Chain A
Amino acid sequence: MGRHAGRRARRASPARVLSAILGMVVAAGAWLYLVSAAITFGVLARSGTGAAWWLTGLAGTGAAACLLVALILAARLLRELGVLGTGPRARGGGRRASR
């Protein structure tokens, strides 16, 4: 019975889907905000304010981190909705991999 249940396709949990969507929207919004902040700090940096380069760097790094979170959540959401399967296992061994 346990084996049978394991084979059955997992149903998408509404709570997980909702939290992934919410997290994705927040992360994407933060990404856009931080890209725009990096550009604003970049204007200051280019006009000779040396410290603004650090702020541009911080905003750029923060934006990259937010985009990473948004992409991870997007992948999780698509998996949860069944659009993406679990996919092939990471490579390692087998005829195909050794070719």
Chain B
Amino acid sequence: MSRPDRRRRVLRAAYVTLAAVDAALAGSADPRRHRLRVLTKPALLPLLALGGTATPAEGGPESRAHTRGALAAAQTASWVGDVALLAPGDRALLRGMSAFGTAHAAYASRLVRAARPGATRALAPVAAALAVQAVGAGVAARRRSPRLGVPTTAYGLALSTTAVTALAADGPPRARLLLRSGALAFLVSDAILAVREHVWRESPPALEAAVMVTYTGAQLLLAEGFVRLDA
């Protein structure tokens, strides 16, 4: 195994361990443990981004550069969202959605380039279903607070764009599988989050752990899918 590969594996293992610790803290009913997340959560995405830097490069230079740039931009914006969502309340939720909306724009900017010909038409029903879901989430958010309705729908549409473009992406089979699993995990994570925030406000802390497990899994799967996209 080459040195960059070994370094990447070590960093990925560190990310998975930290993600497990953070999810355990998120699922804890003890508020003191919850507060420890100011240390774990902001460290997740930088660790994941560091792991990506050591990836051996393949594919055309321009496409490869864009893949790496889009991944770096998406991970940086996701980090901003992670930090924003450490605070409670509607304002934090708005900031978090804006940051993650930006991350999805970066992810989708690369995935759109990798789309299979004709995939857009084939995925139109999926896109429509996800759009309906986004509007539904917006309506549920509006019941909690009127100012959350439009941003939640817009965020849902951004997430749907990432999901549809990941489903439409062409590339090596392993990259496609990772990207699709990552997008699906992101959808599941945000669906649970929406239920917790807007529908079931007194949900058990275990649900927050589920949000974090699916979210950190999604970021890892997307990162692994991206680095294999140009292989």
Contact = CB atoms under 8 A, between A and B. Distances in A.
A63 B105 CA distance: 10
B72 A45 contact: yes
A43 B71 CA distance: 9
Given A38-B73, A68-B95, A60 B102 contact: yes
A87 interface: yes
Interface in A67-87: 67-68, 71-72, 74-75, 78, 84, 86-87
Interface in A7-56: 31-32, 34-36, 38-48, 53, 56
Contacts of A63: 77, 102, 105
A39 to B, nearest CB: 4
Contacts, number: 125
B42 interface: no
B66 A38 contact: no
A53 to B, nearest CB: 7
B98 A87 contact: no
B99 interface: yes
A54 B102 CA distance: 16
Contacts of A53: 49, 72, 76
B80 A61 contact: yes
B65 A43 contact: yes
Contacts of A43: 65-66, 68-69, 72
A90 interface: yes
B149 interface: yes
B17 interface: no
Interface string B151-167: 10010000000000000
A74 B101 contact: no
B142 interface: yes
B133 interface: no
B144 A90 contact: yes
Contact of A64 (B65, B81, B145): B81
Interface of B: 49, 52-53, 65-66, 68-73, 76-77, 79-81, 94-95, 97-99, 101-103, 105-106, 109, 142-147, 149-151, 154
A-B pairs, top 5 by smallest CB distance, nearest first, are A42-B72, A87-B146, A43-B69, A42-B69, A38-B73
